Amino acid sequence: MNRTVSICILIAFGTVLAVITATHPSILSDDNKFLAGFVNQEFLAIAGVMLTITLASAAQIHLKLNEIEESKHTIFLIKTRENVKSGAYCLIFLFLAALFMVVSKPIICDSKTAESIVNSLALFILIWMTLVLTALTRLIFAIKPDLEFGPSRGVAGQLDQGVESGGRHCLGVRCEP
């Protein structure tokens, strides 16, 4: 799943939530017992766990990218490193948005429509965080061992092939030049 697919998923999910909120707000309001019990400290706890796990994974990816570049004695994973960094900052921003929503929900929700909007935003944030986690997980599994079996094996072989073909692949994942 690439960035375009993730954006399409967010747009489609956001559209469905907006249509439900506009036409039948009670479906996503606190009349829904699950959402009433979820969009509170429980949502914040899940967002915090996702943030913690993903930031630890991003740190490991960053260290592994350093190792790969050090072994090749050149810096060539700039775009990959930027993507990891933007994913980590995105998760921090989404966690802060979740915190704001949980704290402000009792204050601003005075109708079923307001509850539906806040609950929809919480679900949207959860999907967005999941997509960032999925992207970083895909990157983790794209890093292969650098074995001495020839140019077609391991990270070094993949990166060498990517550089020879115009630098279009980073760790087996299509990157921008």
Q: Is the dihedral of CA 8, 100, 95, 130 positive or negative?
A: negative
pLDDT at 169: 42
* Claim to verify: residue 132 and residue 173 sit in the same structural domain: no
pLDDT at 2: 84
Q: Are residues 124 and 175 in the same domain?
A: no
Neighbouring residues of 177: CB distance < 8 A, sequence distance ≥ 6: 166, 167, 168
Each residue's pLDDT tens digit, 112-144: 999 999 999 999 999 999 999 999 989 888 887
Residues 97 and 30 in one domain: yes
92 and 160 inside one domain = no
- Asked if residue 132 lies in contact with residue 92, where contact means CB atoms within 8 angstroms, the answer is no
- Identify which of 99, 96, 76, 72 has the alpha carbon closest to the alpha carbon of residue 156: 72
pLDDT of residue 140: 86
pLDDT at 116: 96
- What is the distance between the alpha carbons of residues 29 and 136, in angstroms, rounded to a whole number? 32
The answer to whether 77 and 69 are in contact (CB under 8 A) is yes
Closest to 29 measured CA to CA, from 97, 121, 104: 121
Pair (35, 112) in one structural domain? yes
Instruction: List, in order, residues 6 or more apart from 144 with CB less than 8 Å away.
Output: 153, 154, 155, 158, 171, 172
Residue 105: which domain range?
3-143
Structure confidence at residue 146 (pLDDT): 67
Residues 152, 100: one domain? no
Same domain, 127 and 149: no
Number of domains in the chain: 2
pLDDT at 163: 39
Using an 8 Å Cβ cutoff, are 91 and 51 in contact?
yes
- pLDDT < 50 positions in the chain: 149-177
| 170 shares its domain with 135 | no
Report the pLDDT value the prediction gives residue 76, as an integer from 0 to 100: 87
Among residues 109, 117, 127, which one has the least CA distance to residue 43?
127
Q: Are residues 8 and 22 in the same domain?
A: yes
68 with 159: CB under 8 angstroms? yes
Whether 150 and 119 share a structural domain: no
Longest CA–CA span in the chain (Å) reads: 66
- Say if residue 57 is in the same domain as residue 97: yes
